[in-house]
Amino acid sequence: MRRFSQQFRIPTEAPSLEQLSATARALGLELPSNQLTDYRALVRSFLAAFRQVDDMASKEDYGTAILRKMDGIRLIRKFWKPEPNPGNAWVTRCEISGSLLSSSRLESPSPLAGKRVAVKDCISVAGLPMTCGSELLLANVPDSDATVVSRVLQAGATIVGKATCEEFCFSGGSHTGYPGPVSNPHDPDRTAGGSSSGCARLLAVGDEVDLALATDQGGSARTPAAWCGVVGLKPSYGLVPYTGTVSMCRRLDHIGLMARTVAEVGQLLAVLAGPDGLDGRQLTVDESELLKSSPKASLLNGDLRKYRFALLAEGFVGKDAEVDAAVRSAVDRIFQASDGGGGDGGCPVVSVPRHRRAHRFVSCLSLLKGFEERRASTPGQQLPHLPSLWPTSSAGSLAAATLDADCHRHLVDICVDLADRLRRDYDCAAFKQFDFLLMPTLPYRPPVLPPPFKSVSGNTSGATSGFDSGSVSGSTSGFGSASGSASVGETFAAAFGMMGNTQPFCATGHPAVSVNCGSVANGALPVGLMLVARRWDDWRLLDAALGVERLLGRFAAP
């Protein structure tokens, strides 16, 4: 294994407060002087992570796919402010009915007729504002539909609004998005999970939405699905076109599919899957794989007896014993119903040691490659680099800006190499012998929402900004200060730490789905089980997930 540390110097010390302030200004940020020390501590943590990644692997050459610009026509569509807006789940409301046009891609002319769809507010709907979770972008109005939006409309669905997401989708919590924090539908004191927080809450409540179009670059569909008790799918990388959706990092970008049931997710995937001729992520994929993987929702039967399951040892980290126990109990029941059941032993266990370290290099890949792409972005493809109101995204940008260009590219190459090695680890350790890996979607139950954070602009982020704040309780144990607002570090900590199992599969491209498998807190809070399959085995993954859903049951609506 080659080493490049002598060629590329990663800073060992965080920049001084004066240097940090100057870097922030160069990025368009104005950091209050009383927050500089906290931001410096976060930058120091990022630099330590960069050095750890530098120690992990070697450099290889990789090509970069080019995403072609999507042309479109500006449409005039009516939208309105959501009133009321319980839990801040909506950004805007609308009613855009599908065209009911037939298509050779679809099993029937209108497979989604009558379905109400929420669209995460980082996915383009022509004529509607797209904030990407930030009030900085209130005036941003796309002039074309994302491919997935066009496809659900063609399938006869009705789009009923844009759902709240975390600021620039850079949080696994639900406290940084516009118009305000999204509360968990089962306990308003707690987070709904992110970044597709509004989608999950709306589905769990169930009276306004049947399906949701989301994204998943680190767990953004599966995290809130697990904590809200619904179903969240991250398909194989490239199976569903990403065209017209705000990119976080092209290597990690996935459209997320969400619904209350596995069958409904299957219906949605059958409509969305396949190439669109525009998405550069799909240009790196063999088209025969895309076509082979296109599912037919009518074929789902949920028979677990034909499948082989294994438990991932590194998927359990011991942060919540009750969550771990619920997952292990569910796995035992699945195994007994599967091809390997009926014997005296329990579910087989496989080990992928690199899984435990994956969050470090996948986070660095997301941060550094995403930063590089935003700085070089062109109109219509990605957001330009923008100042942020939240430390969840601004702290990472500050850390990335401290690296010189050569060091930056060096770390990105290492992260890509490690992700490829991790993919081979899963393929060799698990998928040569077993059909599916099982593990907790998330390591612990949804934590309490943090109190508001005083942003770099001087406003209190998490406030309503003119929208109804809904019902978010003031219980803030473990967070905040005497002034009642969260610090930089507390706000950052509440956004991360839950993605150890979800994040790796965004980097490897394996499909993964979260389904409910039980509860904690005397039945009050749902627990998610994640099933992971071979790449391009999305259809069998959903078939198995349907069987698990029938065996274990769904979580009740609030």
Lowest mean pLDDT: which of 356-365, 459-468, 492-501?
459-468
pTM given for the model = 0.85
Residue 17's pLDDT is what? 92
- Is pLDDT larger for residue 389 or for residue 11? 11
Alpha helices, H only, 105-252: 147-154, 197-205, 222-228
**The CA-based dihedral angle spanning residues 103, 539, 315, 558, taken in that order and rounded to the nearest 10 degrees:** 60
Residue 287's pLDDT is what? 62
Residue 268 reports pLDDT greater than 70: yes
- Give the range with max mean pLDDT: 16-20, 314-318, 451-455, 469-473: 314-318
Axis-axis angle for helices 17-26, 36-54 (nearest 10): 90
Residue 430's pLDDT is what? 95
Residue 63's pLDDT is what? 27
CB 88 within 8 A of CB 111: no
Between the alpha carbon of residue 287 and those of residues 233, 245, 369, 541, 553, the distances in Å are 21, 21, 26, 20, 36
Query: Which of 552, 520, 347 has the alpha carbon at shortest distance from 437?
Result: 347
For residues 46 and 56, what is the distance between their CA atoms, to the nearest angstrom? 16
Proportion of the chain above pLDDT 90, given as a percent: 63
- Is pLDDT larger for residue 353 or for residue 7? 353
For residues 228 and 184, what is the distance between their CA atoms, to the nearest angstrom? 6
* Average confidence (pLDDT) over 62-78: 42
Residue 543's pLDDT is what? 96
For residues 66 and 284, what is the distance between their CA atoms, to the nearest angstrom? 10
For residues 482 and 357, what is the distance between their CA atoms, to the nearest angstrom? 36
Secondary element (H or E) of residue 546: helix 538-552
CB 91 within 8 A of CB 131: yes
For residues 106 and 454, what is the distance between their CA atoms, to the nearest angstrom? 49
Place of tokens 């290099």: 361
Residue 100 reports pLDDT greater than 70: no
Going along the chain from its start, the domains and CATH numbers come out as 17-58 (no CATH), 79-293 (3.90.1300.10), 304-380+390-449+488-550 (3.90.1300.10)
Residue 349's pLDDT is what? 96
pLDDT digits (tens, 9 = 90+) for 504-547: 999 999 999 999 999 999 999 999 999 999 999 999 999 999 99
Using pLDDT thresholds of 50, 70 and 90, give the confidence band for residue 453.
Answer: confident
Using pLDDT thresholds of 50, 70 and 90, give the confidence band for residue 290.
Answer: low
Q: What is the DSSP string of 362-427?
A: HHHHHHHHHHHHHHT--TTTSPPP---SSHHHHHHHHHHHTS-HHHHHHHHHHHHHHHHHHHHHHH
Residue 414's pLDDT is what? 95
Per DSSP, the three-state class of 438 is strand
Q: What is the DSSP string of 278-346?
A: --HHHHTS-HHHHHHH---GGG----GGG--EEEEGGG--SS-HHHHHHHHHHHHHHHHHSTTTTSSS-
Structure tokens given for 108: 């029937």
Residue 73 reports pLDDT greater than 50: no
Q: Looking only at Cα atoms, what is the longest distance across the chain?
A: 66
